[in-house]
Structure 1
């Protein structure tokens, strides 16, 4: 016999979760009232696939050096890539630099606040556009990340894990829970992410500490194991092309002169994998041929 999740009335989560968030939220820079929209945009770029504890020091350094889009736009893209350092996925640095140029040239140096205008910026996808519009400007939009999807899957749908991402389904579910008040909606977006990050975690969730424990559909069903479709698991980093790309990028960042092919050859023994990684960096615009070697983009 199939057991269905108990119905959770739409909008029932936000009063409890918002109260919990106001009392328990971590003090993160981008949540402070005096944090600029540019700071929020930079933080969202950096937080993509990168843990909070690694982002905060780099974000602080970045905003001290480039406090506005115009400051970043005034330097070559290579400087953005160098400053990105070990955050990983350095194409984000190129995209952020391109977005800074676009903001400076098209929007008088001010980060736009509409989702449509934000989406026109290089490197800004649906999630980032909604996050900036909601968190920097207080607009009422559903903002859905991995943590949000997991909280909704458990608390509302009674599933131990979320199904693979579906923009239409995920935004509709979050919209059904979003408070009508703009300020409360922004808090709820942040609160759902926070709950997924520190309590309703993927592994070892702290259900006894959860503010939604009395209404959580997953708990009411006895924590059934998720048996649906799963997202594709990323391959391990060690020995991967990503690792080789990272080694080459570190070498390019370490100097302002061209890095020779012989120097790159010494970074990794597998020539085919090394050449493949270098070729991908050239395609991405992160490495540029120069004087018989390679440099960061200028």
Structure 2
């Protein structure tokens, strides 16, 4: 790890305490936090994929009223599930959530480990870590775009990653090392909250950031420079279209020749 990462790890206990103290005083009062349950956590995680909190809140309330638990969701038909999701978009999330509920109610017991959740439909590395750490206290770090941004800034990591996914993989060992194993769920939520409300992509609120004293990028005065993502290479493509018109002849009038594209072919 870099010298800045080593410096952060040397003060990890103070960082964890400062982060949690800030979170408990400043966290947003959200329905899945105030009266937490596994079901609420799972539904919120699915809805928050590709959707902002303020947008999904009314849909979350409507969903809980109609389908209050895994049993109700599993018993619903797909048409009703999709209808309740209407307005949020990315309907694959709704279908995957439906499949997950049916898989869970068929099990003799709810799994409690990240590894077991990864075997369930619709669950990936991020959601498995979030669900099991928040609900069951599993000692696994959540690494999403917010966490990548925070860790890259805390350490002023100058690596130019291909994208956020590759940055997340590279920073996961640091996230695991910083994780508060005594309170992993609150730690993960605190990191995500900090990234969503303070350590934002643009115009981060460094002057009010509780963990500024631990941040190498803030000390350097250029937090928005991190994380560094390599510029995407855009390939120029030239599209040529041609029409073939057969002139009138002895057989009859002029004709325009068309070719039917196979339904499975890629279209321009």
Gaps of 5+ in 1: 234-274, 280-298
Partner of 1:44: 45
Distance apart, 1:29 and its partner CA: 1.5
Partner of 1:294: none
Q: How many residues align?
A: 230
Q: Where do 1:249-260 residues align within 5 Å?
A: none
Cα distance in structure 1, aligned partners of 2:219 and 2:102:
51
Distance apart, 1:160 and its partner CA: 11
Partner of 2:24: 22
Partner of 1:165: 165
Once superposed, what is the RMSD of the aligned Cα atoms?
2.9
Partner of 1:105: 106
Q: Contact 1:95–1:123 (CA<8 Å) still a contact in 2?
A: yes
Q: Contact 1:158–1:216 (CA<8 Å) still a contact in 2?
A: no
Q: Contact 1:69–1:104 (CA<8 Å) still a contact in 2?
A: yes
Partner of 1:239: none
Cα distance in structure 1, aligned partners of 2:81 and 2:231:
32
1:9 partner SS = helix
Flag the 1:180–1:95 CA change in 2: closer, same or farther, 3 A.
Answer: closer
Partner of 2:259: none
Partner of 1:290: none
Distance apart, 1:40 and its partner CA: 0.6
Cα distance in structure 2, aligned partners of 1:170 and 1:120:
24
1:64 matches 2:85: no
Task: Report the TM-score when normalising by structure 2.
Answer: 0.77
**Post-superposition CA distance 1:96-121 (Å, at most 9, x none):** 1111111111246xx43221221122
**Post-superposition CA distance 1:240-277 (Å, at most 9, x none):** xxxxxxxxxxxxxxxxxxxxxxxxxxxxxxxxxxx99x
Q: Where do 1:1-298 residues align within 5 Å?
A: 5=4, 7-10=6-9, 11=12, 12-32=14-34, 34-107=35-108, 111-158=110-157, 164-166=164-166, 167-181=168-182, 183=183, 185-223=184-222, 225-226=225-226, 228-230=228-230
Cα distance in structure 1, aligned partners of 2:189 and 2:135:
12
Q: Contact 2:129–2:141 (CA<8 Å) still a contact in 1?
A: yes
**Post-superposition CA distance 1:41-70 (Å, at most 9, x none):** 111010001000111111111112111111
2:212 partner SS = coil
Q: Contact 1:161–1:226 (CA<8 Å) still a contact in 2?
A: no
Q: Contact 1:143–1:189 (CA<8 Å) still a contact in 2?
A: yes
2:60 partner SS = helix
Distance apart, 1:94 and its partner CA: 0.7
Larger Rg: 2
Cα distance in structure 2, aligned partners of 1:230 and 1:48:
24
Cα distance in structure 2, aligned partners of 1:231 and 1:25:
34
Task: Report the TM-score when normalising by structure 1.
Answer: 0.70
Cα distance in structure 2, aligned partners of 1:63 and 1:232:
41
